[in-house]
Chains A and B, each alone.
Chain A
């Protein structure tokens, strides 16, 4: 009892401070570090530990889809992350018109299936990359939001170090994560804190070979703090709103071929396909079985 009483009075005090600050600052709400942790965790301990707690909140993160067919997976991953980052706050999604033709229009009826409430979403359709970046900065300055998502196709000279820095600063000021999807784009220099490559992973089959929950293969391409660049295979658990570990499927093994072989059997950090909590021997033992799935 005493513990919970202390909790609730602390909560009350926190709310008072927040309200007072909101009134003083004339409607601009500073994102509260006490309420929103500085990092957006995946909810998967192995992944969060490797990232020192998750994705930094007030920062820009790039998610690359190699081709148009992977864009839906990257979009789903970003929505799932936004769901974890924003809790009940609104989210702004800015999409380039060209993506609509190439990878399909956003379909709100599918969002609840990822545990994402479409009522919290504001969609901005941007004519080109320039207006997309403008809308992104404008949205990132609004601290009432939970996250800002940007999606655009290809390489564009409007997106360079300067414009990405502008986004990153806006994100930092309002402590908002900006998740940016780039489809079929080279990894040009930018002010992003992390850069990921997202590909779909073969899902866990449900009864009668039915496709299971969405599964993503994430490869960390860049981290500002120079963390280990690795690959994870994760599954989105909609009901608990966390990412869960999923063992790399056969496609991940193909993927290993185009990597330079480093040091033969030494498995310190050369095999990115392995989740941190798995024994490589274990994987070899049942890889045949998974290939059959």
Chain B
């Protein structure tokens, strides 16, 4: 067993990662050890990454235990680069971490400075970077050994070598890495999460506790967003609220709208409903340090032109209602009907989420003077009934459904509906549908599956729907 990592005091006492546990114990009998758990380390790092999003939306993991933040255009919000570093260091120390921070023009330079520079560092590429040991290029043991043997100890020495010679001896990768560390080439980081088109946020000197205050703040942030969206001629379809708790937990809430929207009152109301519908309510803990509202998806948004009789406004009022209901109960529970051009009764109609927008469907026209041909309730799957019917294709005379006997007073049929052969397994039986009414006036849609005398068993009867 070996030591995976050692804290600062351990290092000071001469322990090193990679040392065997027996050696370490021999030196320091009072050594406290915990088994290494890479999975939990990774989870903790992800949580830190989410929390770091309060400083910039561009955050990437830098394994094994680093985070890479692209702070382009963010530093001035926290009092400049030095202020931002102070803020980040303070936040991490609060949570018990001992961070080493480095700020540099390229990600590779920052990584090299943080890992091999030894102390916190804020630098344009200069003396600090050039003084880094060649190990900072992380090129592997063999290359490191070869470089050391050649007397190349630091990056300044490497830089002095002609790149062609280095590339011929150690490969083009080393030269490219050297250029990136020295800031001559820039590779952008890939942020963990998609960077939103627009976002608005507030940071607080004191943590915010009251939910009402958060909602009021959401409205103000939405007002900021509305101005940004207006300048772009867009409206948001999906909004995300991120609440950064002072202990580092990040809670995210997402609401969607059925149409492009930038009305702060509507957005606030949707979030209020969303919060109300949460299974476990928001726990502010010791309060929120910062709140961010981002537009995750947006689309073109035209100013509403009310038409002459106000129908367009009515449509909008309905869409707002659908958004509110969908936010509260889930989009899969607020539905509109859509017709399918098929004679299979089960597939002829289906429900789709209403937020997807109005659907144009052609429903079959009823025949004037006739009774209804299709029921208003359908059982899926059809319910088995015991029926007594005339052979071969008469309607049932009486039938038993859910232990109640119904005497048939009126009947019409059969309407034969064959299965769609291109869709079902061969051997699926055709159905003869009957519309029947019992002596009480209840109207049923029943069918016989298969025909008399075609196979050994008599065909079975099912109740498929109920008429009004």
Contact = CB atoms under 8 A, between A and B. Distances in A.
B435 interface: yes
A227 interface: no
Nearest to B437: A211
Contacts of A229: none
Given A89-B314, A113-B373, A119 B361 contact: yes
A70 B442 contact: yes
Interface of A: 15, 18-19, 22-23, 27-29, 69-73, 75-77, 79-80, 89-90, 92, 103-115, 117-119, 121-127, 131, 134-135, 138-139, 142-145, 199-203, 205-206, 208-215, 217, 236, 238-239, 249-251, 293
Interface stretch (B63-71, B167-175, B460-468): B460-468
B358 interface: yes
28 contacts: A15-B308, A19-B308, A27-B317, A29-B313, A80-B468, A104-B465, A107-B375, A112-B364, A113-B366, A118-B337, A122-B318, A122-B354, A123-B336, A123-B337, A125-B333, A125-B335, A127-B329, A135-B329, A144-B318, A145-B318, A145-B321, A199-B441, A206-B371, A210-B435, A211-B411, A211-B412, A214-B372, A251-B440
Interface string B294-317: 000000000000101110011111
Instruction: Select the residue from B317, B328, B345, B441 with max chain A CB neighbours within 10 A.
Output: B441
A197 to B, nearest CB: 14
Contact of A19 (B306, B316, B410, B440): B306
B376 A19 contact: no
Contacts of A138: 321, 324-325, 328
Contacts of A211: 371, 410-412, 435-437, 443, 467
A143 B317 contact: yes
Contact of A111 (B371, B376, B441): B376
Interface residues of B, number: 66
A144 B337 contact: no
A239 B467 contact: no
Contact of B365 (A28, A112, A131, A203): A112
Nearest to B410: A211
Contact of A214 (B369, B410, B443): B443
Nearest to A15: B309
Interface stretch (B94-102, B189-197, B377-385): B377-385
Contact of B439 (A19, A89, A202, A215): A202
Nearest to B404: A69
Contact of A210 (B314, B329, B410): B410
B409 interface: yes
B421 to A, nearest CB: 22
B363 interface: yes
A72 B468 CA distance: 5
Contact of B378 (A27, A107, A131): A107
A109 B349 contact: yes
B122 interface: no
Contacts of A208: 412
B322 interface: yes
Nearest to B309: A15
Contacts of A293: 409
Contacts of A239: 368-369
B115 interface: no
Interface of B: 306, 308-310, 313-318, 320-322, 324-325, 328-329, 333-337, 339, 345, 348-349, 351, 354, 358-361, 363-366, 368-380, 404, 409-412, 435-437, 439-443, 465-468
B313 A118 contact: no
Contact of A205 (B314, B345, B376, B410): B410
Chain A at the B interface: SS class: mixed
B359 A119 contact: yes
B369 A72 contact: no
Instruction: Select the residue from B325, B368, B436 with max chain A CB neighbours within 10 A.
Output: B325
Contacts of A209: 409-412
Nearest to A104: B377
B317 A203 contact: no
Given A105-B380, A119-B359, A76 B467 contact: yes
Given A15-B308, A72-B442, A251-B440, 11 more contacts: A22-B310, A27-B313, A27-B317, A70-B442, A106-B376, A109-B349, A109-B364, A122-B322, A124-B325, A127-B329, A139-B325
B317 A29 contact: yes
B309 A18 contact: yes
Contact of A121 (B309, B328, B337, B366): B337
A107 B349 contact: yes
B354 A77 contact: no
A203 B322 contact: no
Contact of A104 (B316, B369, B378, B439): B378
Contact of B376 (A75, A119, A122, A126): A75
B314 to A, nearest CB: 4
A227 to B, nearest CB: 25
A23 B339 CA distance: 35
Contacts of B440: 199-200, 202, 251
Contacts of B378: 104-107, 110
A79 B376 contact: yes
Contacts of B442: 69-70, 72-73, 200
Given A108-B339, A211-B443, A113 B437 contact: no
Given A107-B349, A138-B328, A92 B468 contact: no
B300 to A, nearest CB: 20
A104 B348 CA distance: 16
A140 to B, nearest CB: 10
A134 B334 CA distance: 13
A236 B360 CA distance: 27
A18 B310 contact: yes
A23 B303 CA distance: 13
A251 B466 contact: no
B376 A124 contact: no
A145 B354 CA distance: 15
A283 to B, nearest CB: 17
B441 A249 contact: yes
Nearest to A217: B441
Nearest 10 pairs of A and B residues by beta carbon? A76-B468, A104-B377, A108-B337, A113-B372, A72-B466, A144-B317, A210-B412, A200-B441, A107-B378, A110-B376
Contacts of A206: 370-371, 412
A107 to B, nearest CB: 4
A144 B314 contact: yes
A203 B361 CA distance: 31
A190 to B, nearest CB: 23
B400 to A, nearest CB: 13
Contacts of B468: 72-73, 75-77, 79-80, 110, 114, 214, 236
A27 B405 CA distance: 54
Contacts of A73: 441-442, 468
B110 to A, nearest CB: 50
Nearest to A111: B376
